Copies of this chain bind each other. A is one copy, B any other.
């Protein structure tokens, strides 16, 4: 069944066929290839002249074999049903042997063929795959192979909140909560309100409020609700947060009994929709500079709320454009011309029919990148009078004689104390963000498992999750999501247990984890979008909404860059306090610790160690994180001090090191995250789960070290040989974690109705 007359007549020439086919398979013969093949042909003294001529004719780049001929060659070779042949030469020998009667030329000629094959860099083993049916590879056969019980893992993730989580999931899985495509902004906002009303009916809105307001007095539960709702529509979550978290908690934490009695019940039932009016056009991050005024009039015992200039209008206020009837307004209190700093007041915006109160003007912020179910607005106050009792007077008040009273002397200090009580927002937001990451990763990982593309020559296509780059995109974020889950639980617990002493530490922790988690979410959802290709760009697959709705999380509740500086400043204060204790023992201790680091950690054997046991060792990870946290803080402190000592203004000095300070914050937060994750790993009893968590913890740790390797190398804490070994270990961990990946997202136990993406359909 030979295709060419000439070959049919001269079957010995078939020994050339595999090499010829392989060279022509890319349709191009390079000059080198021609030269080598000519040499090979001319060397064969068993060939007749016309055979040589024919063979040389087949090497003319101007005159390639016809497509049909090339196909015939291939078919011929495939028909051999290759067995043990591993080089093109061997395949050629088999072919010739099959058809030629005289094969005595073979033994003496093999060597020259093999040499040519090698010179041309043709990989026989590779080339033969195109002649075979199946072709298995390590990459092809890698697959999901979970080694733990999903339910056990879910139990650990849910912890003691399991019942409440189930309850919330049941509600948001109800058909009335099905995702919709909205016809207009108004339709979306109305639906969002309806959903929030339903949640209020379920008692979720009042959860953190006192019993008399139909609440459960359960702040922890409130965070759990926020987190679990965040598997569903995020406009709904933010509107929920505005109403019950910002508006409600400001009444609860800044007001006193009379306010609680008067408002909390209606806030919790959503009978009284409200706003949290702090940000102004001119002052967002720097809220200390707010300009709205609340002027006290002792005669009428009222405050007059006023927007003195356009930059002082309240801006971006959730619930303001459509539904809000009241607002907690932050304004500078003026008594007798004297400014007592920013205080909080309850100010009506609309009557219960929705008509604006006289003196209040509201504009709609319009379309946003996301969260379009939330009706943000701009508010102007034109001399709006409110009764004295509307001052939220937990931290300051005006007494019977019209004098200002407060246990906190300093206006700034008082304002920041007030803000401090509202730190809960910086816990709710990252927990909501992390839920969005979980949903995004669930979608992307399911897609990566189902989507096949490319494969070995002649073999099946491979799930894209088997590709190393795809694993690099999704496995470290999966590990970090687990890490952050436990870190945010720790933050919540610290917040619940807070005392006056650790209030500032917890504020810094919340600020840092808010910034870290929301940046992580933005980056992760971007990866998920790209990892799902064009499918990830379709709104039906939900990554669109997840990404765009959470995008502003890096901005609200405090811009992340500003927050990270706040964290760093808090660390610097602690650092300074340690020294200004003027306690010789402390300083001695610190110096001794530094020296110990140098001696044990910078030991040449350790900085160069590539031993796997060492690289995977949790103690090594934690010391590396702690070393970074400490060293980077100490060098920032030294730099600032040096600049100031040299006469630089401290404002300038802090600006010069701003980039450094963000790293101080990051390093601190990363240490906390790792420490808490390691604790969970060590406390986990179930062996399968423990092993799976340990692997994630190792991946989080090594991936973070890898990310910071430039710094570690600069410090001499590691040498290149070690950071290279770490990179290899990260790759390996990604490869291994990939086996559990699907199960690890199953353990999030996100309702299928919330995942919703067709590409993630089970």
Nearest-neighbour CB distance to chain B for A575, whole angstroms, equals: 12
Q: Is A407 an interface residue (CB 8 A)?
A: yes
Q: Is A365 an interface residue (CB 8 A)?
A: yes
Given contacts A410-B70, A652-B139, contact A530 B544 (CB under 8 A): no
Q: Is A604 an interface residue (CB 8 A)?
A: no
Q: Is the CB of A406 within 8 A of B644?
A: no
Q: Is A151 an interface residue (CB 8 A)?
A: no
Q: Is the CB of A138 within 8 A of B366?
A: no
Q: Is the CB of B714 within 8 A of A723?
A: yes
Residues from chain B with Cβ under 8 Å of A26 in the complex: 410, 412-413
Q: Is A369 an interface residue (CB 8 A)?
A: yes
Q: Is A108 an interface residue (CB 8 A)?
A: no
Residues from chain B with Cβ under 8 Å of A283 in the complex: 453
Residues from chain B with Cβ under 8 Å of A178 in the complex: none
Residue in B137, B367, B472, B552 whose CB lies within 8 Å of A651: B137
Residues from chain B with Cβ under 8 Å of A459 in the complex: 651
In Å, the complex CA distance between A240 and B714 comes to 50
Q: Is A171 an interface residue (CB 8 A)?
A: no
Residue in B468, B551, B709, B723 whose CB lies within 8 Å of A658: B468
Q: Is A51 an interface residue (CB 8 A)?
A: no
Residue in B28, B32, B68, B406 whose CB lies within 8 Å of A67: B406
In Å, the complex CA distance between A551 and B526 comes to 9
The closest CB in chain B to the CB of A648 belongs to B138
Q: Is the CB of B369 within 8 A of A544?
A: yes
Residue in B139, B181, B659, B713 whose CB lies within 8 Å of A713: B713
Nearest-neighbour CB distance to chain B for A451, whole angstroms, equals: 9
In Å, the complex CA distance between A118 and B438 comes to 51
* 0/1 string, A650-664, CB within 8 A of B gives 1: 111001111100100
Q: Is the CB of A649 within 8 A of B137?
A: yes
In Å, the complex CA distance between A469 and B658 comes to 6
Q: Is A731 an interface residue (CB 8 A)?
A: yes
Nearest-neighbour CB distance to chain B for A368, whole angstroms, equals: 5
Residues from chain B with Cβ under 8 Å of A582 in the complex: 32, 119
Q: Is the CB of A710 within 8 A of B723?
A: yes
Residue in B69, B409, B720 whose CB lies within 8 Å of A64: B409
In Å, the complex CA distance between A137 and B547 comes to 39
In Å, the complex CA distance between A126 and B640 comes to 14
* 0/1 string, A530-544, CB within 8 A of B gives 1: 100110111110011
Stretch from A228-236, A441-449, A554-562, A747-755 contacting the other chain: A554-562
Q: Is the CB of B539 within 8 A of A121?
A: no
* 0/1 string, A118-137, CB within 8 A of B gives 1: 01110101100000000001
Q: Is A411 an interface residue (CB 8 A)?
A: yes
Stretch from A195-203, A284-292, A344-352, A693-701 contacting the other chain: A284-292
In Å, the complex CA distance between A405 and B69 comes to 11
In Å, the complex CA distance between A113 and B316 comes to 49
Nearest-neighbour CB distance to chain B for A313, whole angstroms, equals: 14
In Å, the complex CA distance between A411 and B68 comes to 10
The closest CB in chain B to the CB of A73 belongs to B409
Given contacts A413-B27, A457-B651, contact A537 B555 (CB under 8 A): yes
In Å, the complex CA distance between A644 and B576 comes to 57
Residue in B539, B580, B581, B657 whose CB lies within 8 Å of A367: B539
In Å, the complex CA distance between A286 and B457 comes to 13
In Å, the complex CA distance between A340 and B70 comes to 11
Residues from chain B with Cβ under 8 Å of A396 in the complex: 67
Residues from chain B with Cβ under 8 Å of A468 in the complex: 655-659
Residue in B340, B368, B467, B655 whose CB lies within 8 Å of A544: B368
Q: Is A279 an interface residue (CB 8 A)?
A: yes
Q: Is the CB of A529 within 8 A of B556?
A: no
Q: Is A404 an interface residue (CB 8 A)?
A: yes
Q: Is the CB of A25 within 8 A of B410?
A: yes
In Å, the complex CA distance between A534 and B551 comes to 10
A side interface size, CB within 8 A: 122
Nearest-neighbour CB distance to chain B for A511, whole angstroms, equals: 15
Residues from chain B with Cβ under 8 Å of A316 in the complex: 534
Q: Is A588 an interface residue (CB 8 A)?
A: no
Q: Is A456 an interface residue (CB 8 A)?
A: yes
Nearest-neighbour CB distance to chain B for A705, whole angstroms, equals: 11
Residues from chain B with Cβ under 8 Å of A404 in the complex: 67-68
Q: Is the CB of A123 within 8 A of B409?
A: no
The closest CB in chain B to the CB of A582 belongs to B119
Nearest-neighbour CB distance to chain B for A660, whole angstroms, equals: 9
Residues from chain B with Cβ under 8 Å of A577 in the complex: 30, 32
Q: Is the CB of A409 within 8 A of B67?
A: yes
In Å, the complex CA distance between A366 and B454 comes to 28
Chain A stretch 425-473: residues in CB contact (< 8 A) with chain B: 453-457, 459, 461, 466-470, 472-473
Q: Is A328 an interface residue (CB 8 A)?
A: no
Q: Is A623 an interface residue (CB 8 A)?
A: no
Residues from chain B with Cβ under 8 Å of A66 in the complex: 405, 409
The closest CB in chain B to the CB of A283 belongs to B453
Residues from chain B with Cβ under 8 Å of A555 in the complex: 530, 533-534, 536-537
Residues from chain B with Cβ under 8 Å of A137 in the complex: 649, 651-652
In Å, the complex CA distance between A409 and B340 comes to 86
User: 27 A-B contacts, Cβ less than 8 Å apart?
Assistant: A24-B410, A26-B410, A27-B409, A27-B414, A28-B413, A64-B408, A64-B409, A67-B410, A68-B338, A138-B648, A139-B652, A139-B655, A140-B651, A279-B534, A283-B453, A285-B454, A285-B533, A289-B461, A368-B544, A369-B529, A369-B544, A468-B657, A472-B659, A522-B526, A537-B552, A544-B548, A710-B713
Given A139-B655, A467-B658, 7 extra CB contacts under 8 A: A68-B338, A70-B410, A139-B652, A469-B565, A537-B555, A656-B731, A713-B713
> Which 4 A-B residue pairs are closest in the complex by CB-CB distance?
A714-B720, A456-B651, A27-B413, A713-B713
Please list the residues of chain A having a beta carbon within 8 angstroms of any beta carbon in chain B.
24-28, 30, 32, 64-71, 119-121, 123, 125-126, 137-140, 181, 183-184, 279, 283-286, 289, 315-316, 338, 340, 365-370, 396, 403-414, 453-457, 459, 461, 466-470, 472-473, 522, 526, 529-530, 533-534, 536-540, 543-544, 547-548, 551-552, 554-556, 559-561, 565, 576-577, 580-582, 644, 648-652, 655-659, 662, 709-710, 713-716, 720, 723-724, 731
